[in-house]
């Protein structure tokens, strides 16, 4: 492992340059055309044939494609977030309201770096290595993994193991974190439309005020967690968006609430969705308002790491020097990689980037999110070593 990490120094400047170029030009889910083109051209430049248009904007490259050995897949996601960047970096997003605030730019760069490393060792590979560059991970519903799987990305050759890496400011820069079994929650997005009857703000008794009713809905939904869900069961319900009204003295006709539910069990997931609907409708009904509750279809399943593969990856990462490997706790965030893990055993693991001296202290999805670029070489080396070892 230390050997691969040393070799990665040869490509470190390329990895950082690719990351910065993608960061400067972020693209939202289902809009990753430029990023996909950059990925494809980079793969072709190192002698790896690239297939584009897989599941939308997905790109796939295969090393040692003619081998009949078992196939290992490595995945990176490509999309950015609808967020205005506030971080002070020289390569700040050039696109207003769009930012790589979750590190997907680094994921692409690290996987391309791993491809460069593996190309040097192609004669040592005892099977094919698929390099999967996935669109639309941030979508939360249809996503990008499902469409890519539908287009056959896990077949021909059939993938025996699949691995994914995610950058995280939760862990010290240069350390790895992982766990076997469930690691990331299933996310369910909901929308609640509170339908009242508008009027003048000075005469609320002549209207059905959806703002007041929506406030009661938000407060009451928190009772699902505190009074209906087993307190030892991992569970989150958050209302994250409220929209309604146009002026300070006009009671609107309607208010829309949007939020998310995060769970780790099918039973709790089903119960929470049912309770969200019944609580919201009951509150609205009690104040004379109408209510519509809808959930995003096809939400991501729980991300579950294979126990044997994870134990093996942990051993490999520990050999990478003195950077440290920690046990990840349950993470309430959701991940489209879960769908790949339903098709083949594997591991989703994290690379820490928290560095207080460099100001890399803000969480993923923050407008101030920054990355300690010194760790990118390490991430590329870890992916390459996993592929080499599992083959």
- Residues that are catalytic: 300, 373
Query: Which residues touch 344 (CB under 8 Å, ≥6 apart)?
Result: 73, 154, 159, 160, 161, 162
Query: Which residues touch 231 (CB under 8 Å, ≥6 apart)?
Result: none
User: Residue 166 is inside which H or E element, if any?
Assistant: strand 159-172
Instruction: Identify whether the C-beta of residue 384 lies closer than 8 Å to the C-beta of residue 46.
Output: no
Q: Which residue has the tokens 């019944």?
A: 278
Q: Cα separation of 354 and 171, whole Å? A: 6
Q: Cα separation of 360 and 367, whole Å? A: 12
Mode of pairing for the β-strands spanning 71-77 and 129-134: parallel
Q: Cα separation of 58 and 64, whole Å? A: 20
Query: Which residues touch 293 (CB under 8 Å, ≥6 apart)?
Result: 190, 191, 192, 193, 276, 277, 280, 281
State the alpha helices, DSSP H only, in 185-306: 210-227, 266-286
């Amino acid at each position: 492992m230390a050997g691969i990490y040393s070799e990665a120094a040869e490509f470190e400047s390329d990895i950082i340059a690719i990351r910065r170029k993608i960061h400067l030009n972020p693209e939202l889910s289902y809009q990753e055309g430029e990023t996909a083109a950059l990925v494809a051209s980079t793969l072709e430049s190192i002698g790896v044939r690239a297939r584009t248009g897989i599941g939308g904007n997905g790109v796939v490259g295969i090393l040692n494609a003619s081998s009949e050995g078992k196939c290992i897949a490595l995945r990176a996601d490509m999309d950015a977030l609808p967020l205005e960047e506030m971080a002070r970096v020289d390569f700040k997003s050039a696109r207003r309201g769009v930012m790589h605030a979750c590190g997907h730019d680094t994921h692409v760069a690290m996987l391309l770096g791993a491809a460069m490393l593996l190309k040097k060792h192609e004669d040592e590979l005892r099977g094919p290595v698929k390099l999967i560059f996935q669109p639309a991970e941030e979508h939360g519903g249809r996503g990008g993994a499902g469409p890519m799987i539908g287009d056959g990305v896990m077949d021909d050759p059939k993938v025996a193991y699949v691995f994914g890496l995610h950058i995280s400011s939760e862990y010290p820069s240069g350390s790895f974190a992982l766990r076997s079994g469930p690691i990331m929650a299933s996310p369910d997005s909901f929308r609640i439309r509170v339908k009242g009857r508008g009027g003048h703000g000075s005469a609320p008794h002549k209207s059905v005020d959806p703002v007041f009713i929506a406030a009661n809905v938000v407060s009451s939904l928190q009772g699902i967690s505190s009074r209906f869900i087993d307190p030892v069961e991992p569970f989150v319900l958050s209302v994250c968006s409220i929209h309604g009204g146009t002026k300070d003295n006009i009671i609107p006709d309607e208010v829309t609430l949007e939020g998310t539910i995060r769970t780790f069990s099918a039973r709790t997931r089903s119960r929470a969705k049912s309770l969200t609907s019944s609580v919201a409708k009951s509150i609205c009904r009690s104040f004379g308002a109408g209510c519509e509750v809808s959930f995003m279809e096809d939400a991501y399943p729980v991300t579950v790491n294979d126990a044997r593969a994870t134990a093996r990856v942990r051993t490999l990462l520990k050999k990478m020097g003195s950077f440290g490997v920690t046990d990840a706790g349950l993470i309430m965030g959701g991940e489209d990689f879960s769908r790949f893990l339903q098709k083949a055993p594997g591991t989703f693991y994290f690379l820490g980037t928290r560095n207080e001296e460099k100001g890399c202290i803000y969480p993923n999805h923050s407008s101030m999110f920054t990355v300690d670029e010194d760790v990118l070489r390490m991430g590329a080396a870890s992916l390459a070593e996993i592929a080499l070892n599992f083959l």
